Amino acid sequence: MTIERRTIVHDGPGGPFEGVFAWDAAVAGPRPGVLVLPNVLGQKEADNAKAEDLARLGYAAFAGDVFGQGRRAQRGEGYSRYMDEMNADRALLRDRLARSLAVLKEQAEVDAGRTAAIGFCFGGKCVLDMARAGLDTLGGVSFHGVYDRPDYPTAAPAGMKLLICHGWDDPLAPPDALIALGRELTEAGAAWQVHAYGHAGHAFTDASATATGTPGIGYEERADRRSWQAMRGFLGELFG
């Protein structure tokens, strides 16, 4: 196994954008590709590491960028400013997601007909928006995502299969929001499933969020481990 990376700078709506692609160079030929979508802070080393983890599982992965090259945030005042711009223009977000998916499919190591997406927090919302927009990919996994609907019609029938990994105590996605999401996806004809983790909240996969000081937001090791295992099973079935 020889895990390698390359940085990809590409154009797109309001670009340029910069992401990192990871693959096992010891494996010949194209393999399934996975788009990794980041949280509120934007594309960063933690996302690149997730792409490498996926490469170790036999996939090729692109840790994408939807904020724009150099537009990265740090925890603290104003940390959500780039995410807020995307939340205010979900159609633009949709178009940037479509471009990121296209870049993944353009890589020689990727089987363009066998792709999926995973995302964390804001990235989880991005995965759901990909399904809502009818983007051409087989499935997606939302880790502690946010579930509010965009202001454009949801594609129906929704072609993407979805796994929603949800922290039951998440203040950004309370039970009513999860139920509303289930109704929305059912109405759209989506194939969906939810794994809900008790005693876990928002950001449960984020090892850097160990002491946020905000109830319901922070890392939870069991939910992190179990959701990653659920993702492995989901992708294995999706690409099997």
CATH of the domain at 141: 3.40.50.1820
What pLDDT score was predicted for residue 34?
Answer: 98
Rounded to whole angstroms, how far apart are CA atoms 126 and 152? 14
What pLDDT score was predicted for residue 7?
Answer: 98
What pLDDT score was predicted for residue 211?
Answer: 67
What pLDDT score was predicted for residue 188?
Answer: 94
What pLDDT score was predicted for residue 214?
Answer: 80
What pLDDT score was predicted for residue 209?
Answer: 85
- Of 126, 47, 136, residue with least CA distance to 94: 126
Query: For the chain, which ranges sit under pLDDT 70?
Result: 211-212
Cβ(101)–Cβ(130) below 8 Å: yes
What pLDDT score was predicted for residue 57?
Answer: 98
**3-state SS assignment for residue 5:** strand
Residue 72 belongs to what domain range?
Answer: 3-239
What pLDDT score was predicted for residue 74?
Answer: 83
Structure tokens that stand for 235 in this block: 């992708």
Total structural domains within the chain? 1
